[in-house]
Amino acid sequence: QQQVKQSPQSLIVQKGGISIINCAYENTAFDYFPWYQQFPGKGPALLIAIRPDVSEKKEGRFTISFNKSAKQFSLHIMDSQPGDSATYFCAASKWGETSGSRLTFGEGTQLTVNP
Amino acid sequence: KAGVTQTPRYLIKTRGQQVTLSCSPISGHRSVSWYQQTPGQGLQFLFEYFSETQRNKGNFPGRFSGRQFSNSRSEMNVSTLELGDSALYLCASSWAVPQETQYFGPGTRLLVL
C-alpha cells in the first residue's frame, strides 16, 4: 500500500521535445506529491510538487498533472533541454501530527535530452 | 541560507566495522530524515527525527540507528557493516509542517569492502 510505481525507467528525447514521466500510487492517504531531480553526485532537489485537491500545477517548463480517481500523476517537461538530463523521481507522502511525513519514492527515470 | 550539509562525503569501511554519518539541517529546520539510495532498491526511508525524538522508522534492521541533538543536527550509525550497506546515504531537513518540502543534502557515499 505504500508503493509508488514510476515509468518509464529511461527516456530519450530530442532538444525541444516533451518529456513525460508517469507515476501511480496505491495509498489514498497520501496528501503530497513532489517530483525531485537528481544529477550525478548530488542529492535530489525538489522540482515541483502538488496536493491532491489540484489537478494541474505548472512552473515554467514543468507541469504536474494529477488524476486522483486513477491514483496517477505525471511530470511533463516542455521544450526539453540538454541541461534537463538527469534522474527524476516522483514521490508521495502523508502527514501525521505524531509521525511527521516520510517520502515514498518511485524507482526513478533516467532522462537524456539529445542536442 | 546554507543548505543541508553532510559529512563525510565519502567513506570506505570493511565488513563488521561500524560507521557514523553526520547531517546539519538548514537553519531553523527541526525535522531531519535519512534515506538510503542504492541502484537496486532506489531511495528508501530510514528514519525521521523531530525535537530529538525518532518519530518515524522505515523497514531497516536494528543495526541502523540515529539520533538528533538539541541544535537539530543528526547522526546516523550503522553497526556491524555488511557489503549490502554500500550506498549513498541522504539526509533531508524540513520545517515539519503538513505538505512540506524536504531539502536534501549531497549525501555520504559509503563503500563497504
Give chain B's count of helices (H) and strands (E). 0, 11
Does B107 contact A at CB distance below 8 Å? yes
Nearest CA in chain A to B100: A32
pLDDT (tens digit per residue) in B34-72: 999 999 899 999 999 999 999 889 999 999 999 999 999
pLDDT (tens digit per residue) in A53-93: 999 999 999 999 999 999 999 999 999 999 999 999 999 99
**Is the pLDDT reported for residue A98 higher than 90?**
no
pLDDT of residue A97: 67
Dist. CA B113–CA B100, nearest whole Å: 37
| β pairing state of B19-24 and B5-7 | antiparallel
Of all residues in chain B, the percent with pLDDT exceeding 90 is 88
**Is the pLDDT reported for residue B98 higher than 80?**
no
Do the Cβ atoms of B98 and A43 come within 8 Å? no
Does A83 contact B at CB distance below 8 Å? no
Do the Cβ atoms of A100 and B55 come within 8 Å? yes
pLDDT of residue B101: 86
Give contacts of A98 with chain B, Cβ < 8 Å: 55
Backbone conformation region of residue B23, classed left if phi is above 0, alpha if psi is from -120 to 50, else beta: beta
